[in-house]
Chains A and B, each alone.
Chain A
Amino acid sequence: MEWGYYLAAAIAMISVGCSAIGEGLVCCHAIDGMSRNPEMAGKLRTNMILGCALVETTAIYALLVAILCLFVH
């Protein structure tokens, strides 16, 4: 049953792709806002990095699950 753990880790990694799409959307809209309103660029960049890191959390949870699947059994 060793392969089952590897399969579980691979399935957990699907969520990382979805999280990448979300991060792309955050960046896309932040750059939209920056190009429309360049004097707000500094504030928007800070918020963009904050939002990206928050979105990344989902990916990190999935990574944790995958690491646990691979190493803890």
Chain B
Amino acid sequence: MPFLGFLDTSKGLSGEVISSLIVMGIIMILSFIVAIQAHYHDPLKKPKGLLFLTEVGINFFDRLVSEMMGPKFKGFGGYIMAVAVYLFIAFIFGLTGLPSPVTNLAVPLSLALCTFILIHATSVKYTKFKYFKRYIEPIPVFLPVNLISMWAPLLSMSLRLFGNAISGWALMSIVYSALQNLSGMLFSWAQIGAWNQIFIAPFITPFLHAYFDLFSGLIQTTIFIFLTMINIGLEAPEEDTVNS
């Protein structure tokens, strides 16, 4: 059971959590490099290399956040960019052969939990004590329904990421085992034991990896940050009601 493994603590940390820690380490080292480069960089010269990429990324996410969520959420660019970078690297981390962090339910669940807490924190920030009114709308009879539907964003966002990652993983395992058997049948004349299973898979699976890891990872990262921005942005009041 690769995807419920985080419940089993008898064997220590599961592999996906360890690769999640590795991804975090990679991002941390990259951000230290960027920070050192930015510190010693002459602001009058053109940035180059990693610093340039980071500046382009920060500009892009700041513009995206101000377009999607309005000018009230200027500080959210950092969070959105951190989530996007982490998710994309976590998705393509499966290409290294280590388990991708997203194939463990703990990782998408914690990301979705961050969004969930942010949604409610934003709601409390902008509506103060009227926050509790959202549970009895439109009439108080709807209280149990609202209490259940309150968990919908958490469930749908975590399961969307997890389902995509796990379906890619399951399909890739099926394709790999089928190609191993096919290659074993075709090259059984070579008399090299189990090594005759390795010949076909390297020519077919790269395209599937490009779809299931790169494309699917990019799309799901986009979906996740878009949904995060939309859900958080919905909690803030409209622009004209603030001014009036």
On A, residues with C-beta under 8 Å from B are 49-50, 53-54, 57, 60-61, 63-64, 67, 71-72
- Distance (Å) between the CB of A70 and the closest chain B CB? 9
For the complex of A and B, 6 pairs with smallest distance between CB atoms: A60-B163, A53-B223, A64-B163, A63-B167, A57-B160, A53-B219
Q: Is B226 an interface residue (CB 8 A)?
A: yes
Cross-interface CB contact of B220 among A53, A71, A72, cutoff 8 Å:
A53
Q: What secondary structure prevails in chain B residues at the interface with A?
A: helix
* Contact between B164 and A54, CB atoms less than 8 A apart: no
Do A54 and B223 contact each other (CB < 8 Å), given the known contacts A60-B160, A61-B159, A64-B159?
yes
Determine whether the beta carbon of A61 is less than 8 Å from that of B222: no
B interface residue numbers (CB < 8 A to A):
1, 4, 156, 159-160, 162-164, 166-167, 170, 219-220, 222-223, 226
- The complex places the Cα of A63 from the Cα of B167 at a distance, in Å, of 7
Q: List 30 A-B contacts (CB under 8 A).
A: A49-B219, A50-B222, A50-B223, A50-B226, A53-B219, A53-B220, A53-B222, A53-B223, A54-B223, A57-B156, A57-B160, A57-B163, A60-B159, A60-B160, A60-B163, A60-B164, A60-B167, A61-B159, A61-B163, A63-B163, A63-B167, A64-B159, A64-B162, A64-B163, A64-B166, A67-B166, A67-B167, A71-B1, A72-B1, A72-B4
